[in-house]
Amino acid sequence: MNKKLQLVVGIVVFVIAFIFKSLPVYIVSYLILGYDIFIKAFNNIKNKVFFDENTLMIIATIGAFIINENMEAVLVILLYQIGESLSDYAIDNSKDKIVSLMDSRADTARVIVDDKEKVIDSNKVKVNDVILIKPGETVPLDGVSLDDDISLDTKSLTGEVKPLIVYKNDNVLSGSIVLSKPLKIKVVRELEDSTVSKIVKFMRDASLNKTKTESFITRFSHFYTPIVCFLALLIFIVPTILGYNYQIFLNKALIFLVISCPCALVISVPLSFFSGIGRCSKEGILVKNTIVLEKACRINTIYYDKTGTLTTGDFKVDKIFPNKGVSISLLKELVTAAEIYSNHPLSKVLTFDNIKIKKSDITNLEEIAGKGIKCKYKKKELLVGNFNNRNVDALGSVVFVHYDNKEMGYLVISDELKSSSKLAIEELNDLGIKQIMLTGDKEKFAKMIATNLKIDYVASLLPIDKAEVIEKSLSNDKVVAFVGDGINDAPALAISDIGISMGSIGSDVAMEASDIILMHDNLKSIKKLIKISKYTNIKIRQNIVLALFFKILIMILGIVTPIPIYLAIFADVGVMLITILNSLLVFKKRFS
């Protein structure tokens, strides 16, 4: 039965029972409102979980019927179900906000076939198909722009209000909305691999893994419930044996059981984490699971990749140094021959448009991670990269060219710092976080950038070296994060306590290996992440203290002085509602 329908029907029958004071009608309303609680308790018993909050409520309410507290028996279930519904509403509300930000998928796509438009399901579109998106429509799949000067609304992906302008050959992400004029793109990923599909999956999986706090609450309820039942039994049996009125102490025992239901703890802790994840997503920070959110506030060391993370990643060839007897045009030809068919991010920079290369002249093309490209060009061996590990005094990355077993010269390429990098690092320095740049650049260039940013650095590293540096710094008493964006960063992202990747320009492999994705590509988001994590953990601690304090206080009062059972019910549900509202403050608070 639908939860809303269950509540409405149950309340109507309860009101009829209250008016006519009818025990059979009370029992009917009790069964309507509580049948799912019985099912949960039965399933748990089948799984050898004999005591939980469901068992506790069943024992308490059946006992209430035994002493003719019929209205109170139903009221326990009714108010619990209202609290559950409010919690479900709060979670659904948070999910709706996340989905409204992330689930911007178009169900259909307008494919261009023989200059004609054909509307088909997005999941049937193939790589290299050309699709047309009209103004106001959502881009259904990732692709490459075939048009110039197109405005896109990317709020649903990055939270960025300012429109993004794309030009021919620029990447276009699914979930973007076309603003200015019709856009044609060539599809580069099918629907299930598209950016927006991955983001939605990322968010839906976010609550699957339990944090230490959530696991503790689950374990706590497993031994807490039998202890409570045993104490309630003692409250009833001991005074009865001593000759006191059994009905008075049966009532006290039942009140004790009602108050002791750990609903506030069971509901508020996961809700707090969910609110924290929702708040992060609103800031363009995608968190993979609650475990990551719980420990993000304890980050005390951050390692950074340089290119595309601290710098723009927009490389340019600064200088060309041909060896004696080698012309600049020959050096450009050799570099272009090696790079023209490569997918490496630097290949576009090292491919000169005015140089024409025959595909048939290039054979045995091989990309060697951390080194460069090896191939045969016009039947002679060509190496472009840093295969000899020779140092050159240059402010940038050096690309050597070897052809036919001779060094032909080298090129120097460089990029510039992101405008936000320095400010973000200063803010994290103020939080007392140690920050280190890891780069493949030579010592002199790395030192220049690190000095400008006021952070430590380790230079001349291969991709696997970065992971080894991070592995050596891991320990139980600190949380180490790594921030990167490229395919070469995947080992470092995976081995760190928290891997953070740059979303818009980050590679698929980096995003898969990471725990957190920064959709803004802005390092200032890390400070917000840490603040949200701290605030979420504060709210969880507040909820635990609040719930335990009031429960222990009212349980003691219930033993030493008469308390009406309906007040015990309101006290229990009241604490639950307060903790739910306190959890939702995480989603509402502003974080600078």
Please give the positions annotated as active site. Answer: 305
| Cβ(477)–Cβ(344) below 8 Å | no
DSSP string, 444-456: HHHHHHHHHHT-E
What are the backbone angles phi and psi of residue 249, rounded to the nearest 5°? -80, -25
Q: Where are the beta strands (DSSP E) in 297-371?
A: 299-305, 316-322, 362-368
Token pair belonging to 514: 């990471």
| Cβ(94)–Cβ(587) below 8 Å | yes
- Where residue 564 falls (left for φ over 0; alpha for ψ -120 to 50; beta otherwise) is beta
Rounded Cα gap, residues 37 and 79, in angstroms = 13
Rounded Cα gap, residues 58 and 74, in angstroms = 11
Strand-pair partners of 113: 116
Rounded Cα gap, residues 21 and 9, in angstroms = 18
Cβ neighbours of residue 74 under 8 Å, at least 6 residues apart?
14, 17, 26, 29, 30, 33, 61
Q: State whether residue 67 is helix, strand or coil.
A: coil
| Cβ(416)–Cβ(314) below 8 Å | yes
Q: Give the end-to-end CA distance of the chain in Å, rounded to a whole number.
A: 44
Token pair belonging to 249: 């102490």
Cβ neighbours of residue 325 under 8 Å, at least 6 residues apart?
none
DSSP string, 481-522: EEEE-SGGGHHHHHHSSEEEEETTT--HHHHHH-SEEETT--
Place of tokens 């699709």: 131
